[in-house]
């Protein structure tokens, strides 16, 4: 089965810096969501409301796949 992937690009304000943990080593969506230098890679319709209840989404149900370095 083919998975549709959605790369969720969010403007984040969390800090990062020298010695910060590499994005690819962050195992959870919320940890990735908090980092301005990281980008969530998810299935279609994943919603960051699990990390921030103030976020409202039109669709939901996708799965967090991994955390990548923002390009």
Which tokens go with 44? 């279609």
Which pLDDT belongs to residue 23?
97
Which pLDDT belongs to residue 48?
87
Half-sphere exposure of 21 (CA within 13 A, CB side): 11
Which pLDDT belongs to residue 19?
54
Q: How do the pLDDT tens digits run along the chain, 71 residues long?
A: 333 333 333 323 334 454 578 999 999 999 999 999 999 999 999 988 889 889 888 887 899 999 999 98
For residue 69, list its beta bridge partners. 38
Report the predicted TM-score, pTM, of the whole model to 2 decimal places. Answer: 0.65
Q: Identify the H or E element spanning 54.
A: none
Phi/psi for 32 (5° steps) reads -70, -45
């Amino acid at each position: 089965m083919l998975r549709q992937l959605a790369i969720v690009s969010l403007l984040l304000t969390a800090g990062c810096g020298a010695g910060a943990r590499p994005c690819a080593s962050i195992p959870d969506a919320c940890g990735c969501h908090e980092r301005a230098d990281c980008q969530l890679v998810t299935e279609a319709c994943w919603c960051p409301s699990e990390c921030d209840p103030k976020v409202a989404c039109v669709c939901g149900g996708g799965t967090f796949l991994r955390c990548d370095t923002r390009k």
